[in-house]
Chain A
Amino acid sequence: MSLYVSVLVVLALLAVTAPAALIFGFGGAVAARSHFLPLRWIGRTYIAIVRGVPDIAFFLFFVIALDQGFEWLRHKVKCPDWDQPIRQGNDFIVCAQAKLPLSTSPQWVHETYGFFLAVLTFAIVFGAFAANVLYGAMRAVPHAQLETAEAYGMTRRQAFRRILVPQMWVYALPGLSNLWMVLIKATPLLFLLGVEDIVYWARELGGTANPRFTEYPHGDWRVWYFLALLFFYLAFTRVSEIFLERLMVRLSHGQATTGGSSQGHTA
């Protein structure tokens, strides 16, 4: 039963993360284009740093870092007269009211909080990827378009909103669809973040014994569970591939890009 729920968890993660990552990416891309120097640095660093480091390291890092960050903030707000240091040796200690989630809260709150952290982590990491794609797409919009907008008396802000953003999506779509594929393939990493997802249940149910039941009535079925997962992901990526191809054909219809005219050959 939990296995089926965990499939829903994965789908929910995808559904929530994709738009969240897009927002982060948009913010990053806008920051990287900014005329205000520190903001541009922040945007560029955000994009650049993800390139050199394995994404799984980010996942492991952000889950703890975010958790501690939130607790630290709450600690500062809720217990201002706490005089002991937060890091004592190997412990991270905040006052009881600042714990997230509160130690008195029910189990589902803990699980939801874990899921929320996972979504935020995914959004930050994939936001950087999306920022790179969108940044490239914004630069791909013909400059003449922006100059024309200026000639019509639009301010930078107006030109950005009315000219640049509507046009950049066609250029961004190949990159974004690639990103979607990578995102699908990154979802099993949820397991590492402590969410009880499909990988977790495949391991538990397939194994011969686990802490909850001493013995299953079957041998080691984990191979078959993982084979099923393999096919699940394979089917999932294939379906999205077909769907995205269709979307691309529709979006580039009548666009002044090479894709607009040559789409018929490649699709």
Chain B
Amino acid sequence: MSCWETVQGYALRSLGIGERLLPREDFTLCEQVTLIGSGLIWNIYFGTLALLAGFFLATAVALGKASRRRILRKPSEWFILVFRGSPLFIQFFFAYFLFLSLKSVSPVFDAFTSAWLGALVVLFLNTAAYSGEIFYGALRSIPRGDVEAADAYGFSGWPRFRRIVWPTMLRLAWPAYTNEAIFLFHATTLVYFSGFPAWQQKGDALYYANYFADKTFNPFVPYPILAGYFILLTLVILSIFGLINRHLNRHLPQEARRKMRLRINVIR
């Protein structure tokens, strides 16, 4: 089988399109690159959707935590504590078995036991908690003068939040939020190792990398391929978030803009 045929057969294998059987022996480099790349579709799917949905919940949670009203503040604080304080791995397991037992109560939860929805919900809540904490920190460091100026111009309530507080919060939180996005994409690799089954061997990038490592007993090929893919993915995220960062800071004078360098953390 030529490499092009392999690509045609396996490029969308993770979605169930193409060859049914995974290669069993005589693994070529081409097969490994194609299949691991095909699995990456799931990583991007989980990461993107969880990040987009989590963004809104995170804003709500951050506002809740900064709220003066106890009834809003306490739930937000607990939400952040629970999801940041416990391992994501355990959260996946717990959610999977929770959905599994709920399934017997009502068929509504049927879809939740499969990874595409169940794991997405967990990732969504998890990233909402982490970014909620980031946004909360940014919310507290908004310069007092900005808000006072807004008051002086007669802004209040929703317009003040929409026009002054929210953009400034995003601007301040953006470097940290970029990190969170990178870690979220890394966290998506946990999905298929945590109870959520990979039906018909439709898994993510790490699932396939692990498959090859198990079969060939040679970790030195599939994992570096996976690493290469993820470094590429990280670079893409960095450039997209960099563009948004430039957009958020477009009103600042050049000098101040250049100072705002993205600091990349290694840990979440």
Contact = CB atoms under 8 A, between A and B. Distances in A.
B257 interface: no
B74 to A, nearest CB: 16
B181 to A, nearest CB: 13
B92 to A, nearest CB: 9
B128 to A, nearest CB: 17
A117 to B, nearest CB: 13
Contact of B219 (A54, A65, A237): A65
Nearest to B100: A220
A199 B89 contact: yes
A227 B189 CA distance: 22
B190 to A, nearest CB: 6
B86 A223 contact: no
A203 B268 CA distance: 27
B220 interface: yes
Given A56-B190, A57-B206, A90 B266 contact: no
A256 interface: no
Interface stretch (A105-113, A143-151, A154-162, A228-236): A228-236
B97 A222 contact: yes
A223 B226 CA distance: 32
B230 A53 contact: yes
A89 to B, nearest CB: 8
Contacts of A222: 93, 97, 100
A202 B87 CA distance: 15
A223 B88 CA distance: 15
Contact of A223 (B81, B97, B209, B216): B97
B230 A54 contact: yes
B94 A223 contact: yes
A54 B205 CA distance: 11
Interface string B58-97: 0000000000000000000000011001111111011001
B210 A230 contact: no
B218 interface: yes
Contact of B87 (A49, A68, A233, A238): A233
Interface string A160-198: 000000000000000000110010111111011000000
B213 A47 contact: no
B227 A57 contact: yes
Interface residues of A, number: 49
B206 A90 contact: no
Given A55-B186, A234-B82, A188 B223 contact: no
A64 interface: yes
Name the residue among A128, A182, A188, A206 with the largest chain B CB count within 10 angstroms: A188
A246 B264 CA distance: 27
Given A90-B215, A234-B82, A53 B93 contact: no
B187 A54 contact: yes
B97 A53 contact: no
Contact of A230 (B94, B187, B227): B94
Nearest to A51: B266
Contacts of A182: 267-268
A81 interface: no
A60 interface: yes
Nearest to B215: A90
Name the residue among B86, B209, B220, B266 with the largest chain A CB count within 10 angstroms: B266
Nearest to A225: B97
A53 B227 contact: yes
B219 A60 contact: yes
A238 B88 CA distance: 16
Given A90-B25, A233-B87, A234-B85, A226 B227 contact: no
Nearest to B222: A61
B86 A61 contact: no
B85 A56 contact: no
B234 interface: yes
A92 interface: yes
Interface in B102-153: none
A226 B81 contact: no
A185 B266 contact: no
A191 B264 CA distance: 29
Contacts of B101: 220, 223
A83 interface: no
B217 A233 contact: no
Contacts of A90: 25, 215-218
Interface of A: 47, 49-57, 60-61, 64-65, 68, 87, 89-92, 128-129, 132, 178-179, 182, 184-189, 191-192, 199, 202-203, 206, 220, 222-223, 226-227, 229-230, 233-234, 237-238
Instruction: Kindly list the 10 A-B residue pairs having the minimum CB-CB distance in the complex, ordered from nearest.
Output: A54-B186, A226-B94, A52-B231, A185-B87, A61-B223, A64-B219, A222-B97, A53-B227, A237-B85, A188-B89
